Structure formats: structure tokens, C-alpha cells
Structure 1
Amino acid sequence: MARRLGLGIVAASLAVAWAAGAQAQVTAADKAAAIKVTGGKFVDKESGASCDAFIEPTNVKDLNGDGKPEIVVTGTGVFCYGGAEQGYWMLQKGPTGAWKIIDQNQGIPTYLPTRGVGGWQDVEIGGPGFCFPINRFNGKAYAFLRNKEYQRGACARR
């Protein structure tokens, strides 16, 4: 039991160190540039409500296994994103140093251990309900792979 606990602590420490390493590779200027690529602030045309974009510390991570961090910018607000109340942009830094959008969607992204072309993690896009799409990178863009059901029959009409 003590040995398992010790191994768990070591694994947790390595995960924290890895996350800190990814954070250290992304500067404040990188984050500002990534936000700028997404537009930064969105205004709903009908209501005039604004929705801000931000980068959470956990949203700087290596999503394709190349050792370089990608940034996930999150936007929130019911007027901009409907019932999911959230949207996201996945960005990768290109060879010129400019950030480019790899994926953009409405919903709450959950990165799965399964991977597509180039080692990019599959993304489950959550929101209201019990049936969520899983998208996979095909070498050019993220595309629908399958649905994941959290309640039997939830995906029957999709």
C-alpha cells in the first residue's frame, strides 16, 4: 500500500512538473498574440452582450506530442455560445512564430488519450444533453469521428 502511494506521488509530481514546463515555454507575449488571433472579445449582434476570451493555466499543453505547447483559448457567455455557454480555439505556434487556429468550436473541450494524424489528441465536445461529438484530426482539420453517449439512446437520432 505504501509503495503504491509513493508511486502515485511520484507520478503526480511528474505531471505537475510537465505542466509547469509547458507553461514556462509560453510567454505573456505568446498568450496575448493567441488571444489576438481569436479576436479577443466578441459582441453578440442581436443583444449587444459581450463575451470575453481567456487562457486558463491548464489550457497550455502539448496536444500533439511534439514537445511544444499548444494554447486553448476559452470564450464564455450564453449570448455568444448558446446553451453550452462556452467555445474554444485550439492554437499552434507556427515556424514563423505566429499562432494559427487548428480547431474552433462551440462547447467544452475534453482531450482524450486517443489520437489522430500527427499525434493530435481526439476532442470530446461537451455541452447540454447526454450525446457529445468526438472529433479527430485528419491531417488538415478536426472532423467528426463519432458520438459518445452518456445515457442509452441519447444519440439515437443523430
Structure 2
Amino acid sequence: MAVAGASAESAAITTAGASDDDLFRTAGFSRTARGWEKCEDPGSVAYAPGEVAQRGDFNGDGRPDAVIYEGSTACAGMTGNVYTLLSQQPDGAWKVIDERIGLPRFLATKGAGGWPDIEVGGPGFCFPVLRWNGSEYALNRREYEGKPCS
């Protein structure tokens, strides 16, 4: 997943922002024999334990942010992916900003606080685009290949 507008400088700022363990614990994952897990997958072959998929300064505030993926059709249906977006707060603690079933794609358009809009992909051809309103990511519009749809 690429973050629109992320610079090499912002990536350098955030690479040492937190250990993976800190991120997984904040997101509610537990360490198991298969890795970091949150979904109660029954042991399906297609299960993929949590992984830190992206680090960066997504909202331009100078503090690190991260996205964790976990894959399971048992927990996420045909999309097969759950993502968790985390952000480091001014006091150094981590906070879950958003968590959903789907494949997130950060867009160039932005909401409050510089947070990028997120297109949440999955099966189909008309995807929700979420915008940060200052307290949560909420539905802003629906798009397919950058064009409005319904």
C-alpha cells in the first residue's frame, strides 16, 4: 500500500517509532504460535497473521503512524483482509485511529488534521472513501477508479 504524498524524509522520521510488539498490543493482538493474531480464525489454510504493512507519517504531524494487516476469510469474508491504522500521540502512546474489513488505499485528498482519505477496497466495483472528521473516519463518498459511483 502506498501512501499518497509520503516523502522519504517522513519515512525516515518514522522507521524507529515503535517496536512491532507495541503496535500489535495497542491494536489488541495476542502473540500465538502462528504469530500476532486478533481474528479468531479456526485454523484455515488461507489465514495470515498480523503484519506491520506500512509505516510513515501519514498525516504530516511529525509523529509515526502504522498500518497492520491480518488476513482471513473466516473473519473478513471475501475481502480476506482486516486493517488497523495506528498513530503515535503527543505523549508517545499509540492509538488505534481506524480498523475495518477491507484493503486500504490512502488517497491524495485529505480530511481534518491532514489525514488522507482512505478508499477501502474489496469485492465489487464501487468502494467507500472514508474521511477523517477529527474524531473518526466516516463515509465521505463512493468511488471506482477515481470516479463517483453508487
TM-score (norm 2): 0.78
Does the residue aligned with 1:73 lie in a helix, a strand or coil?
strand
The residue identity in structure 1 corresponding to 2:88 is K
Q: Does 1:36 align with 2:28?
A: no
In structure 2, the residue matched to 1:74 is 69
Matched, 1:122 2:117: yes
Amino acid paired to 1:19: A
Structure 1 length-normalised TM: 0.75
Matched, 1:105 2:100: yes
Code of the aligned partner of 1:27: A
Instruction: State the shift of 1:20 in Å.
Output: 3.5
Cα–Cα, structure 1 residues 94 and 18, in superposed 2: closer, same or farther, change >3 Å? closer
- Measured in 2, the distance between the counterparts of 1:18 and 1:42 equals 29
Q: Counterparts in 2 of 1:11-90, with a 5 A limit?
A: 15-16=7-8, 18-24=10-16, 26-28=17-19, 31-40=20-29, 41-44=37-40, 47=42, 49=44, 52-56=49-53, 59-90=54-85
Greater relative contact order (Cα < 8 A, sep 6+): 2
Higher percent of residues as helix: 1
2:100 maps to amino acid = N
Q: Give unmatched runs, 5+ long, in structure 2.
A: 1-5, 30-36
Q: Which residue of 2 aligns with 1:5?
A: none
Q: Distance in 1 between matches of 2:94 and 2:138?
A: 21
Deviation string 1:59-113 (CA, Å, 9 cap, x unpaired) is 1111111122211111111111111111111111123322111111110000011
Which structure's CA Rg is the greater one?
1
Residue 33 to residue 112, structure 1, CA distance change in 2 (3 Å): same
Kept in 2, the 8 Å contact 1:42–1:51? The answer is no
CA contact under 8 A between 1:53 and 1:76: conserved in structure 2? Answer: yes
CA separation of 1:16/1:139 partners in 2, compared to 1, >3 Å: closer, same or farther?
A: closer
Q: Which residue of the partner structure matches residue 132 of structure 1?
A: 127
RMSD over aligned Cα, in angstroms?
2.5
Indicate how the Cα distance of structure 1 residues 99 and 129 shifts in structure 2: closer, same or farther if over 3 A, else same.
same
- Where do 5+ consecutive residues of structure 1 fail to align? 1-13
SS of 2:77's partner is helix
Residue type of the partner of 1:23? T
Identity, in percent, stands at 36
